[in-house]
A and B are shown apart, each in its own frame.
Chain A
Amino acid sequence: MTATTTAPRAATPVRIQGTPNARLRAWATRAPLLPALIFMIAVTQLPFVATLVISFFDWNSLYPDARAFAGFANYSEVLTDPDLRRSVWTTILLTVAVVLASLVLGLGLALLLDRRFRGRGIVRTLLIAPFLVVPVAAALLWKHVLYNPEYGLFNGLLHYVGGPQPDWISDTPLLAVEASLVWQWTPFMMLILLAGLQSRDQQQIEAARVDGASDWQIFRHLTLPHLRRYLELGALLGSIYIVQNFDAVFTITSGGLGTANLPYTVYQTFYQAHENGLASAAGVLVVIGSIIIATFALRVVSSLFREEVGRS
């Protein structure tokens, strides 16, 4: 990186002209980056600053005249509100459960699909399908077509074996949301892990096998270490999307029965309760939580991309 950028400059014979020239060149290098950077700052950072400002006001949009500076009142209300505290817990539970379950299932499926068998391409296509259904459509499918206690497929199948006929969504609401998300995200994890499996060093595995290593030993000492960065990548990307999940919670339970996560709660606070200040404070707290997670996660990513950083 440094070699390529400094070498031509060192070759320039006249040093006095070199300074403005180098500055010009530096700007020419940066210029292609600027439109994207400026766009991102304008569209994502400015609204957040506005959210920050609004969070210090007592502002219900139904009573716009009563708007007043409130200091940290919204924050203390958010932090002491049992519903909101519960939605923090729900968000954590939902994210951790879905990411872990879909990673484990995805790993199992990837290991199966890594082997040669008849119709492997078809099975892979079947398995990818859940990830390619529009999330609202997938949530509707689970809510009406699978979970419905009267005519849903699950109870229909249970009917054949004379099993119970539970009302899935009322009996286990959070699990119902999680199951639908695991179904959607397992294929994603499988795809990433399958790519990881297929990039293994086959010669190394053969050598280990010749040396008498068992399947389990090969998996434990060769495959799993190799898969580590792929597992981390899957967990990180999965977390980013599932922490922010709105579609499944909104569609399957409408946030009821203790399934309201933070995105849904913030949406409801301003869209239905019209409490702009309160919603903003909750939003800011979500961001602070995300920054804590992101700081940790980015360290994982930076280790992921260390090889590429070394490249240039």
Chain B
Amino acid sequence: MRPTAVKHKGIGLGVAAWLLGLLFFLPIAWMVLTSLHSEPDAATNPPSWAASLTLDGYREFFGVGGGASPWPALINSTVASLASTLLVLLLAFPAAYALSIRPVKKWTDVLFFFLSTKMLPVVAGLLPLYLFAKNTGLLDNIWLLVVLYTSMNLPIAVWMMQSFLAEVPVAVIEAAHLDGARLPTVLARVVAPIAAPGIAATALICFIFSWNELLFARVLTGVVAETAPVFLTGFITSQGLFLAKVCAASLVISLPVLAAGFAAQDKLVQGLSLGAVK
């Protein structure tokens, strides 16, 4: 009798997990359905489950029926996120190497300094950055965002990579040095290939955080350098007339992050926990 009881409990908990999973996913499923409805069908109470489907919401979002095109904002976000991710990797990789494989003295202090900058609230430096940008003509310039996103993600990247690089066997590196390889060669040819999955996780997380960022972009960009999240803020006060368009916009702009996140679920866990979770 006991094994059956255990089995029943197991099935019950499995069903509970499924129900909770569907409950958490429901808002997103509803967003997808709403994005595929016509505007009148999207804004009904009770909800219209079976209304006919249309791509009008997406056409509207891409500015087919007039209105601002989202392409400049999407391109800006892509440039800012990719460029800052690349810059983060270029700066964080050597730093993480110095902190993990050939530790400098007081290396934990240095690590803590990096993480402490993450605790310095963004708002604490926003005004001087705004004034600086205004006086140097860098306001509404995507490259200023690249620099700021780099500073936003660099501490996390150094922390993550430090723990990933710590897993590279020291003997392999020393052998390469003994063969006469110089540091840049060792980094590129020996360390990077071994730590590649960790570096990929770091890059993924930097990309997601840059893509999602709103406050810097909101304050420091305008017309030319507007990013995708800033473009979305245009919908904050929009009323029911644009519900399908709002949902289509939110889904399209979330798509790169959703795709990257689903493709690398395990890496995401390892990365987000700064490599402390193995």
Contact = CB atoms under 8 A, between A and B. Distances in A.
Q: Indicate whether A and B interact.
A: yes
A276 B131 CA distance: 10
A210 interface: no
Nearest to A297: B119
A290 B121 contact: yes
A270 B127 CA distance: 7
B219 A145 contact: no
Interface string A137-149: 1101111111010
Interface string A185-216: 01110011011100100000000000000000
Q: How large is the interface on A (under 10, 10 to 19, 20 to 34, 35 or more residues)?
A: 35 or more
Q: How large is the interface on B (under 10, 10 to 19, 20 to 34, 35 or more residues)?
A: 35 or more
Contacts of A94: none
Given A32-B95, A183-B24, A250 B214 contact: yes
A152 to B, nearest CB: 8
B257 A50 contact: no
Interface stretch (B63-71, B195-203, B229-237): B229-237
Given A183-B27, A293-B119, A199 B154 contact: no
B276 A304 contact: yes
Contact of B246 (A115, A145, A270, A308): A145
A131 to B, nearest CB: 7
26 contacts: A28-B183, A44-B117, A47-B124, A47-B125, A47-B132, A112-B13, A115-B10, A117-B14, A117-B18, A119-B18, A124-B265, A133-B28, A133-B254, A141-B247, A144-B235, A144-B243, A156-B46, A191-B269, A250-B218, A290-B121, A294-B119, A301-B112, A302-B108, A304-B276, A308-B276, A312-B166
Contacts of A308: 163, 166, 276
Query: Does more than half of chain B's interface fall in helix, strand or loop, or is it mixed?
Result: helix
B102 A145 contact: no
B143 interface: no
A298 B115 contact: yes
B10 A136 contact: no
Given A50-B128, A140-B235, A156-B45, A35 B17 contact: no
A137 B254 contact: yes
